[in-house]
Structure 1
Amino acid sequence: MGQHTAMFSAALAKPSAAARAAAVALALASIFFAPLSGGFAMLPAQGAPAQPGTLAEHIAAGDKATDARQPKLALAQYEAALQAAPRSTDALWKASGAAIDIGEVDTDEKRREATFAKATDYARRAIATDSSNAEANFAMARGLGRSALTVGPRDRIKFAKEVRRYALKTLSVDAKHPGAMHVMGVWNAEIMRLNGMVRLFAKTVLGGQILGEASWAAAAKYLEQSVAIDPIRAVHRLDLARVYRDMGRKPEARAAYEAAIKAPLKDANDDLYQRQAAEELRALK
C-alpha cells in the first residue's frame, strides 16, 4: 500500500490532469481483480478438444473439471456444450467463469486480454438469454472487472460503476450469493484504500461520484457475509483478513489469515492465496 500511495502522491503533485488521471487508473486497477487476485499460478492441466456429447454431458464434464481445478478442460467442455446449445444460460456463464480463471494465470498480456474479452462476451450472452439469472450477472461483474484493466481511467470509472451494478443485481436475485458479496466487499475496500486526493479527483473530474458511497464498514460487512455463507473458500477469508488489517483490527485479521491458510483447496488459485495469506500473516505487526 505504501508503494501505491507514493505513486499517487507523485502523480498528483504534478499540474497535469493526464498525470492525475493516470494515477487514478493505477489506483483503480486493483478493484477489478476481485474476487481472485494477486499474481499468477500454474494450472494443473491444459485444455483439450471435447468429444461429441449432449448438452448435459458436456456441462457435467465441465463441472467435474472445475471441481478438479482444471479451468482449461472445463472451458473446452462448456464451449462444446455451446456448440450443441448456443443459448444455454448455464453453459454461457460457466464458460465465462472458466475463461476468467484461465486469464488470471496467463502471463501473456495480449492473450490474457482476449480471454477476458471472451469471458465478458459469454457473460453478456448469458444475460441476454436470462437477465434475472444470478450467476449470469455475477459472471458479468467479474468479466467487466477484468476487461476494465485494458481501458483508460475514464472508462475504468464507468467499469467500476458497472461492476458494482451487476454485483448488486446478483444480490437482488440471490441475496446470499457469496461471490457477489465478495465483489462488493473488495469494491468498497479498494476504494477506501485510495489516496484521498485520488478519490476526490475521481469523483469530481472523472464522474465517479458513486465512489463516495464506499466505506470500511461496508467492506467488512460484505466480506463477513461471504465467509459466513461460504466458509471453506480461502479467498473470502484472505480478503476479509486484509480488510481487518487495514482497519486496524489485528487480532481478527490474524484469525482470518490463519483460517485462509487452513482452508481446503477448492478454486484454481487457492494454493496461491494460501501462500499470500502466510506471507501477510508473517508481516502483520
Structure 2
Amino acid sequence: MKPILLLFLSTAIGLAQSSAEWKKQGDALDGIGKPKQALEAYEKALAKDPANSGILVKIAKQYGDMMPSLSGGAKKSAGEKSLEYSRKAVAADPNSSDSHLAVALSLGKNTEFMGNKAKLQASREMKSEADTALRLNSKSDYAHHLLGRWHQEMAGIGGASRLIAKAIYGGVPNGSYDQALEHFKKARSINSRRLIHQVEYGRTLAMMDRKAEARTEIQKGLTMPNREADDPESKQRGRETLDKL
C-alpha cells in the first residue's frame, strides 16, 4: 500500500474515533505513566466533547504530572496550564468533586512560583476547594490527603513567621498535626494502594516527634511499588525525613 494511502487511512481512523475512545486511550497511557502521550489523546477527546469536565480534569492532571520532568519556564507553563484546565473543569461541572479537587491539586503545584502573599491566598483557596471536593464525595481519598497536607503545612509555621504574616498579610490560618494525621489515616483507609498517603502519615508522625512510629510508617511507604507520577517524589520526601530522625 502506498504511503499516501496509509496516511489517509490513518487520518480517517483517527477522525472516526469517538471522544470516549480517545479518553480510553488516554487513560491507558496515563496508567503507565506517559503523561505527554496521554495528553495528546485527551486533547483529541476534548475536541469532540469540549464541555466534558472529566476530560478537562484528566488534561489538568497530565500537565501536573509532566512538571517534575521539566524546569524553568516550561515547568511554570505546565503548572499554569494545569490550573487553567482544572478551573475550566469546575466551570463545566461545579458539582464534580474531581473538578474541585483538580483545582486544589493544581494550586499546590503552582505555589513554588508564587510570592508569599500569593501563596497564602492559594493556601486558603486550596483548603476551600478540597473541602468542597470532600463534601461532594466523602470517599475521595485525595481530598482527605490534600486537607492533611494543608493542616501539616499550616501547623508547621512557627510563631515568629505567624507574627510577621499577621502584620503583613493579616494572618495565617491555623493548622493541626492531629487533624493532618486523621486526614491521612482516612485517605489511607479509603485507598491503601496510594503510597503518598502512607508516606505523609509517617512524615506527620515525625513532625509530632513520634520518631519510632514515624520510622515504621515511612519505611512501609518506601517499600510500596510506584504506581503514580509523583510517587518517586513522595518517596524522596520520605527518605529525607528519615535522614533527619
TM-score range, shorter chain: 0.7 to 0.9
Does residue 124 (structure 1) correspond to residue 87 (structure 2)? The answer is yes
Equivalent position to 2:154, from 176, 191, 199: 191
Equivalent position to 1:140, from 98, 103, 116: 103
1:60 corresponds in structure 2 to: 24
Does residue 152 (structure 1) correspond to residue 115 (structure 2)? The answer is yes
- Kept in 2: contact 1:233–1:264 (CA 8 A): no
CA distance in 2, matches of 1:251, 1:173: 37
CA distance in 2, matches of 1:86, 1:157: 32
Q: What is the DSSP-based 3-state SS (H/G/I as helix, E as strand, rest coil) of the residue aligned with 1:254?
A: helix
1:163 corresponds in structure 2 to: 126
Question: Closer, same or farther in 2 for the Cα pair 1:64/1:253, shift >3 Å?
Answer: same
Question: Closer, same or farther in 2 for the Cα pair 1:203/1:185, shift >3 Å?
Answer: farther
Letter in structure 2 aligned against 1:261: L
CA shift, 1:142, in A, is 1.1
1:269 corresponds in structure 2 to: 230
1:106 corresponds in structure 2 to: 70
Percent of matched pairs sharing the same residue: 26
2:193 corresponds in structure 1 to: 232
- Kept in 2: contact 1:157–1:208 (CA 8 A): no
Q: Deviations over 1:213-270 (max 9, x none)?
A: x111111111111111111111111111110011011232122112212212210132
TM-score, with length taken from structure 2: 0.88
Report 1:1-285 matches (<5 A). 51-52=14-15, 53-107=17-71, 109-209=72-172, 211-212=173-174, 214-278=175-239, 280-281=241-242, 283=243, 285=245
> How many residues are paired up?
232
CA distance in 2, matches of 1:274, 1:222: 19
Q: Deviations over 1:27-77 (max 9, x none)?
A: xxxxxxxxxxxxxxxxxxxxxxx9442110111111111111111111111
Q: Deviations over 1:186-239 (max 9, x none)?
A: 111112222211123223430344x12x11111111111111111111111111
CA distance in 2, matches of 1:51, 1:271: 34
Letter in structure 2 aligned against 1:205: I
CA shift, 1:179, in A, is 0.8
CA distance in 1, matches of 2:193, 2:48: 34
Q: Which runs of 5+ in 1 are unaligned?
A: 1-49
CA distance in 1, matches of 2:127, 2:136: 14
CA distance in 2, matches of 1:275, 1:140: 25
CA shift, 1:276, in A, is 4.4
Q: Between Structure 1 and Structure 2, which shows a larger proportion of helix residues?
A: 2
Q: Deviations over 1:93-151 (max 9, x none)?
A: 111011111123312x1111111111111111111111010100000111122233323
CA shift, 1:272, in A, is 4.1
Q: What is the DSSP-based 3-state SS (H/G/I as helix, E as strand, rest coil) of the residue aligned with 1:205?
A: helix
Q: Which runs of 5+ in 2 are unaligned?
A: 1-12
CA distance in 1, matches of 2:180, 2:108: 17
Q: What is the DSSP-based 3-state SS (H/G/I as helix, E as strand, rest coil) of the residue aligned with 1:62?
A: helix
Larger RCO (CA within 8 A; separation ≥ 6):
1
CA shift, 1:91, in A, is 0.5
Aligned-pair Cα RMSD in Å: 1.9
- Kept in 2: contact 1:116–1:146 (CA 8 A): yes
Q: What is the DSSP-based 3-state SS (H/G/I as helix, E as strand, rest coil) of the residue aligned with 1:86?
A: coil
